[in-house]
Amino acid sequence: HDDTVGAVTDSAFGMDLGDEVMRHPTPLYEIAFVSLLGLYIWWKGLRPHAEGSLFATFLTGYLAFRFLCDFLKPYELLLGLRGIQWACLVGLVHEARVWASFRKPLIEEIPS
């Protein structure tokens, strides 16, 4: 196996990769999550929304998912997190700034 699948588990969701060891099927978790996220974005797109907010929704959701899902993978830790989790945190901080910008007017009025 490679490290794209999850760590060993005794969960009912475990998947045998041919070595008789049950692991978290993180690729299947990802397929399910991205499918639901896609449906949510489609639904949000039917209503008025700020330009770029649908992509920001996707990016925020996916980064949060990857951050949490990687706790189920057997990588070595760097200061308590895996490398991809550090990258996700940086991305989530950036996305917080993006979401804040959606609340500001694009053009401020010039005082007379």
Cβ contact 23:6 at 8 Å: yes
pLDDT score recorded for residue 104: 62
- State how far the Cα of 47 lies from the Cα of 39, in Å rounded to an integer: 13
**Predicted local confidence at residue 3, as pLDDT:** 63
Which stretches of the chain score pLDDT less than 50?
1, 106
| Model confidence pLDDT, tens digit, residues 32-57 | 999 999 999 999 999 988 888 899 99
* pLDDT given at position 50: 84
